[in-house]
Amino acid sequence: MNLLVVDDDLDLPDILAEILASLGHRVRIARNGREGLKMLHEQLPDVIILDVEMPYLNGPELVHRMIIEDAGMQRVPVVLVSGIVGLTQVAGRVGTPYFMGKPFDLDKLLGMLHRAGEEKRPPVPVWRARVVD
């Protein structure tokens, strides 16, 4: 699977990328949302592993830009991985069924990545899901 990890943590993205690569995945790392958006324009991944709180474009803002800019990005499943309080509510606003708190269990994350890759459910933010009469 082709994965994009977007996380500003100093160590986690590198460690996660090394583990995922050892399991046969292709992994690219972006250190903030702006860099992640640039990488999305260069090549669409199968799944994005996305932190919520980051500089220059946080996770929900990145998803918003993916949908607005379109170019196929709006169809990429997003797995939110964050240590913030209220992650369930943020995932609901972003419109992704895939989310996990930090610290996380690696086997559970791998299971969620596999599920996201199989189901291919893109985010549908609350603002986009509303029907206007």
Looking at residues 99-112, what average pLDDT do you find? 96
Q: How many CB atoms lie within 10 A of CB 70?
A: 9
Given a cut of 70, is residue 87 above it in pLDDT? yes
pLDDT band, very low/low/confident/very high, at 133 (cuts 50, 70, 90): very low
Where does 1-133 show beta strands of DSSP type E? 2-6, 26-30, 47-50, 78-82, 99-101
For 107, the domain range is 2-129
Looking at residues 1-15, what average pLDDT do you find? 96
pTM: 0.92
Given a cut of 70, is residue 130 above it in pLDDT? no
Contacts of 88 (CB under 8 A, 6+ apart): 99
CATH classification of the domain holding 80: 3.40.50.2300
Task: State how far the Cα of 102 lies from the Cα of 132, in Å rounded to an integer.
Answer: 36
How would you class 44 by CB atoms within 10 Å of its CB: exposed for 0-12, middle for 13-18, buried for 19 or more? middle
Count: domains in the chain: 1
Looking at residues 98-117, what average pLDDT do you find? 96
